[in-house]
Homo-oligomer: A and B are copies of this chain.
Amino acid sequence: MPAPTAIVLLSGGLDSAVTLALAREMRFETYALSFNYGQRHAIELESAKAVAAALGALRHVIVPIDLRCFGGSALTSDLPVPKDRLPEEMNEGIPITYVPARNTIFLSFALALAEVTLANDIFIGVNVLDYSGYPDCRPEYIKAFTAMANLATKAAVSGNARTTIHAPLIQMTKAQIIQKGLDLGVDFSLTSSCYDPAEDGAACGRCDSCTLRLKGFRELGREDMRRYVAR
**Chain A interface residues toward B at CB < 8 A:** 61-64, 66-67, 69-71, 74, 99-105, 107-109, 111-116, 133, 135-136, 138, 140-141, 144-145, 147-149, 151-154, 156-157
Contact = CB atoms under 8 A, between A and B. Distances in A.
Q: Can you tell how many copies of this chain the complex includes?
A: 2
Contact of A63 (B67, B109, B151): B67
A154 B141 contact: no
Closest 6 CB pairs of A and B: A101-B112, A100-B112, A144-B148, A100-B115, A108-B108, A135-B157
Q: Chain A's interface: helix, strand, loop or mixed, by majority? A: helix
Nearest to A113: B70
Given A140-B151, A147-B147, A61 B66 contact: no
Contacts of A148: 104, 141, 144-145, 147-148
